[in-house]
Structure 1
Amino acid sequence: MTALAYAGAALAEIAGCFAFWSWLRLGHSVWWVLPGLVSLAVFAALLTLVDTPAAGRAFAAYGGVYVAASVLWLWLAEGHRPDRWDLAGSVVCLAGTALILLGRRG
């Protein structure tokens, strides 16, 4: 369930942020903001589904998923192929996510 919540949250957050990017940087209509706001609300709601007693831990672990998903967005949605540094950075971030989620707690 955590993996699905994180994947959905990443898609929703990136899509929501991209809506604002499209309006402010690409010159699209201000109407792009409305679905962007909905998408960002979905993102926030999905993070609440992560089974952890601490919101900060859920958010911190999500950060690595966000980085990797953003690199995937770069490639699939924007047509820019990730380079080795993008991929290496994504792997490092996902390793951090795994440490946070799977680390032994005392």
Structure 2
Amino acid sequence: MLSGSAYLGAAVAEIAGCFAFWAWLRLDRSAWWLVPGMMALALFAYLLTLIESSAAGRAYAAYGGVYIATSILWLWVVEGHRPARWDISGAAVCLLGAGIVLFAPRGP
């Protein structure tokens, strides 16, 4: 359960941090948006260290699916754009792939 919470928290932190840069550069917001944005990106990196995995690369690969699904939720909740069924289908495929990467049996 800790991994699921860490993945979700990391995804929200990364998206929020990147969105701060997006807001500054694309939405003409103040450069002050970068301060919480950089803090969010630091939190993102920290949360990924909490993932229970024997290899960082595997944890990061599985995180990719969570990131994509959370990005689709961000699109809907924060930006107010309803996802298309293809957005949802693609996110579901990515979550399936993340589950395979994270939970597949490993040899000795």
Which category describes the TM-score, using the shorter chain as reference length?
over 0.9
| Number of equivalences | 106
Q: 1:34 Cα deviation (Å)?
A: 0.6
Match of 1:89 in 2: 90
The sequence identity of aligned pairs, in percent, is 62
User: Does structure 1 residue 49 correspond to structure 2 residue 46?
Assistant: no
User: Does structure 1 residue 39 correspond to structure 2 residue 40?
Assistant: yes
User: Does structure 1 residue 9 correspond to structure 2 residue 14?
Assistant: no
User: Does structure 1 residue 21 correspond to structure 2 residue 10?
Assistant: no
Q: 1:42 Cα deviation (Å)?
A: 0.1
Match of 1:59 in 2: 60
> Counterparts of 1:87 and 1:51 in 2: how far apart (Å)?
27
Report SS of the residue matched to 1:50.
Answer: coil
Structure 1 runs of 4+ aligned residues shifted over 4 Å read: none
Match of 2:69 in 1: 68
> Counterparts of 1:16 and 1:78 in 2: how far apart (Å)?
15
Report SS of the residue matched to 1:53.
Answer: coil
> Counterparts of 2:52 and 2:92 in 1: how far apart (Å)?
23
TM-score calculated relative to the size of structure 2: 0.97
Q: CA RMSD in A?
A: 0.4
Q: 1:53 Cα deviation (Å)?
A: 1.6
Amino acid aligned to 1:8: G
What's the CA shift string for 1:21-58, capped at 9, x where partnerless?
Answer: 00000000001001000000000000000011211001
Amino acid aligned to 1:28: R
User: Does structure 1 residue 101 correspond to structure 2 residue 97?
Assistant: no
TM-score calculated relative to the size of structure 1: 0.99
